[in-house]
Chains A and B, each alone.
Chain A
């Protein structure tokens, strides 16, 4: 059972454009939503994260938008660069306990010059 649905599976964006990746979750007990970035040959690394008590979080060119009522959240990459080409995973977890993370299926982003 896929508890975090992610789309699209792949995305091609021109340099300078906006990349948008969407995720939806089912479990209302989730209360922390990180995004991970994975470059080829490397493990995923935390990019940015949000708690559901805020609707938006921005770090540099990366912004998470969160819609609690719709149980959806998205990653926006402004002014996309070729160096942003990577696979992005959204994730969700319930705080406390063993912090088991549920990951989305991943989006492979390619930014072309």
Chain B
């Protein structure tokens, strides 16, 4: 069965800290995504990656960076955490395969609080 695992369900950090959110998928998917979910705003794409060491900015990349050193792992980095980055973060993966009727597979999210 498809599995996307996010390393932490809940995380509390302080303003100015460097924060790492980790995501691992076991499906050999080429594409991986990081979203943040906020009430009333839905899911907004932060960054995505279509291959190892490749990355593309999403709609709200400011204040974030990403790393993809291995195909199965995609990390989101908050360089200097701020309170407005308190949110639910969701990782997803997707096969590049033929056709576009392939669903994104999501992890269960990391609820991050910045104090």
Give bound CA distance, A49 to B100, whole Å.
11
A6 at the interface (CB under 8 A from B): yes
A residues with CB within 8 A of B: 6, 9, 31-32, 34, 41-46, 49, 51, 89, 93, 95-96, 98-101, 103-106
> Residues of A contacting B115 with CB < 8 Å?
none
B104 at the interface (CB under 8 A from A): yes
Looking at the complex, which one of B41, B45, B106 makes contact with A100 (CB distance below 8 Å)? B45
> Residues of A contacting B40 with CB < 8 Å?
9, 105-106
- If A43-B92, A49-B101 touch, whether A98 touches B42 (CB-CB below 8 Å) is no
> Residues of A contacting B11 with CB < 8 Å?
none
> Residues of B contacting A101 with CB < 8 Å?
33, 45, 104
Contact A100 B107 (CB under 8 A): no
Q: Write the chain B residue with the least CB distance to A6.
A: B42
> Residues of A contacting B4 with CB < 8 Å?
43
